[in-house]
A and B are shown apart, each in its own frame.
Chain A
């Protein structure tokens, strides 16, 4: 990033600054000593729901009809491990990218809050990673990888970083909220969702406020070609995030043989495509549309 970035302008907006200060105080008041607070059960019952059945990736499809209750409960275990693995992956990237921008002169001086953001995500990554290892014996990999080098203005790069974080966190929050309030769920897994969401609600508020502040700066600093590329980048990020929910290894671990073929079929299933749009992508896509960035839930 060059030192002429206009991003520092956001700290001149009093309203924005006071909202961030409020979030900082909330993080301090509600600080949790997560590492000592969680008492890990020896095992989690495979007869319990590890995820509400309506959140399973087969919900609304022929697989849901064909699977027995036991199979669906087993799948809910591996879908839970996949969700938590995605959190580990996403939070690892978030912590590393946010940390690398701390105290850099060309980005807004939001360190007071960002230290809490990073602190909270570091704790989440710990309990999600620990959960996956203890009860799944592994952490799945989504194979998310940057293939081509993309360059943007410093303002756009900063905006895209928080836009990706926002999409990631809002999808996660949808699952957290639904699972945390579901009484059919295993109580310990529910508790993990509750603990996570208590922090995530603040992160999402922060992210939305920051994106609203930086969108115009990012777009004004970019050519029409760069703006189109940035939107295409976010569209790809949405697609990769959706597709990551259909991890073939979790189907195989649940005793269903053809992982990749099943993933492909589910991703093309009309009921699933409708669900992407109407459930976990509904809020984030509406937020971006309000900013003038129109993203779709499903590729054509």
Chain B
């Protein structure tokens, strides 16, 4: 089950654009283990999340773990963000 949310859609679109061979992305898919995100586009991935929530995300060692799946991005960042 994938969550219906404009922010989540933005991230899905961004991922699908980078991986045209995929037709959909499950919210529970590990994006790092499945190599959908590498160290280069990780930066843009976090920058998009920042823009969606309207605040900067400080450097933290658990940032990879907290953004490994779209569901975790939802739980850790998008769910209680005020729409901007």
Contacts and interface: CB of A to CB of B under 8 A. Distances in A.
Interface stretch (B21-29, B40-48, B74-82): B40-48
Given A248-B51, A260-B51, A147 B38 contact: yes
Contacts of B42: 143, 145, 147
Among A141, A240, A263: residue with most chain B CB under 10 A: A141
B47 A263 contact: yes
A207 interface: no
A298 interface: no
Interface residues of B, number: 19
A109 interface: no
Contacts of B57: 141, 143
Interface residues of A, number: 22
A141 B37 contact: no
Interface in B42-84: 42-44, 46-48, 50-51, 56-59, 63-64
B40 A239 contact: yes
A148 interface: yes
Contacts of B40: 236, 239-240, 243
Interface in A251-295: 259-260, 263-264
Interface of B: 32, 37-40, 42-44, 46-48, 50-51, 56-59, 63-64
15 contacts: A144-B39, A145-B42, A145-B63, A145-B64, A146-B39, A147-B37, A148-B38, A236-B38, A236-B40, A240-B43, A243-B40, A249-B56, A260-B47, A260-B51, A263-B47
Given A148-B32, A263-B47, 11 more contacts: A143-B63, A147-B32, A147-B38, A148-B39, A240-B43, A244-B43, A248-B47, A249-B56, A259-B51, A260-B47, A264-B44
Closest 5 pairs between A and B when the two form their complex, measured CB to CB? A141-B59, A143-B43, A143-B46, A147-B39, A260-B47
